[in-house]
Structure 1
Amino acid sequence: MEPAAARPGGVVASLTGADVSTPVTVAQLPTPYDVAETVTGPLDDRERGHLDVCEQALHGFRKSVVVAGKALEVISRGRLYRETHATFVEYLDDVWEIRKSQAYRMIEAWPVAVAVSPIGDINEGQARELGPVLKDYGQEAAVALYREVKELRGDRRVTAADLAEARAVLPPPTQLARPEQVRDVLTVAAAEGRAPRLAPPEPKVPAQAADEHQAHEAGRGNVSQDEVHEGAEAIATMEAALAQQRQIYDRVGGGVLKAALLYDPRRGEYLRHELRQYAHRTAHRMRGQQADDEAGT
């Protein structure tokens, strides 16, 4: 049977304001609503209009997880398929050739995509990783997570794997007092190596400058080409470490320590101890290498 979206859409324009000749937006879709299983009669004009606009949206569902997910939820909860199909699953299979699991993933994803849309569009995989954050921590935390991951990634593309890694280092919901804490949690996790995908990228040396420097070093006669490459990698490693140290210094300023000790004294004291320990270890390691260098001269 021909989908309703392919039929004339005069009722769509009158009920929803949607122009079926153009892509349907989320705002043009009706709010999802429930219809009891006992309702078996034909669709009324309002429902038929909803079915038309939802199916029009689904024609381009591969381009928009937001629109398709919301359209599917409207059809499912409103049982707008009941004139032609006994169940939602049969409707999905017959009309759209969509598996039930895929449809429900899109239904779960669209509220997340809408929440983060002011920051940027996301795909189904990214929305799937943000879904549990929205459910367990709330919308503000989910938006904060996506925003901070996007900022920490810089010019690098944000992937579902990045969001999964960020979600994995979040503390339990009861320990995340404010969404603003998400940034601190992710920054510290990146610095500690628990979220390496969020760490600053290694700085790139311009190709010409690198070639000239390598040629100069190799021309000394007492430095091998392998040592030149190792030295370049070491410089990049130290620059990345310095960038992380600066981030840590900026993040633990102000009243961070006082607030942490008030919120969770034991955890706050442990984190202070660890931060001091690693600061001392880093300083000792740098002094030790300097002493070794001086002893060798």
Structure 2
Amino acid sequence: MSESNYDLGWGDEDEPEEAADTLTAVDTVRDEKQRQNQAKLIAEAVEQAAPGLHKIPDPVEPAGEGALTDEERQRYEQCLEGVDLGNNAWFIQGKALDTIATGRLFRDTPHKLEPERNYRTIEEWAPLEKGISVSKCSKLRAGWEIGEVLAAREYDVNPGQVREIVPVKNAYNLNAAIAVYVLVADTWGEDQVTAERLRNTVKMLPGDLELDQDEDVDALAKTIKGVLVEEIQPPVSRAIPPAVTRAVDKRAIGIADALNRPRIPRSEVTLRLMEAFADPEDTTVYDAVLERMQQAEKDAQKAARKALK
């Protein structure tokens, strides 16, 4: 056999360059496939996270009675996500609008009616691009932060309710607005919070109200409640009413008779009352005082509820 018939050599000296070109092409194809796979994974992740009606299972009859099947449990969880999305959609939309407006992200979008120029304001962009009125856009932008915080605290809140406490946020801060909602919810119950009750509460806030900017929501709610109770009820006098003084003097006479003493000074009666109130073993006086103060607190609550109607 001749060498020409069975050439076992590496070929001429140009072949290594061709081989290198082949390897480069293989690397390019491989890199492109990797990019495509990565893009596919990203697209799938985005699709999984994005809301959509197609993700909600179609209505079907129960698989049976009693406990849900695994498939039904999965379908139930998917539907719950849809319900929660519907409850939260308004302030998600508000945040999106606020982000677009604040960053002027519409500024290189051609105007739909005047394509020779771009949008200049959110008020131009929202109605034409998304069919959202200027008024609704402003309200959603103003209220989304309140809605987000209240939802995080597991309150079922709607835009109409939030609209009533936006002025508190503007006048003080976000926590103050949340505190007003919490106060009304604590007073009436979470399921009894209405826009009207929130509006009435805001109206009752005195013009010279001062709130600590560093207080948390619950502390602010207590502060506002205390202010409103004082506004509703006349200030309680710290002086002992004459009728009470006369009644004490009469009871002191009874004690003096029982002790066979000519009189009992009022200061001594006060001392003994304080000792009896502080006695850890006999809580009779303490319990009586506590009961009276609890009743006074209930009366104040009733007055607050009446005022918030």
Structure with higher Rg: it is 2
Same topology, TM > 0.5 = no
Superposition TM-score tier, normalisation by shorter sequence = 0.3 to 0.5
Q: What TM-score, normalized by structure 1, do the two folds share?
A: 0.43
In the superposition, the TM-score normalised over structure 2's length comes to 0.42
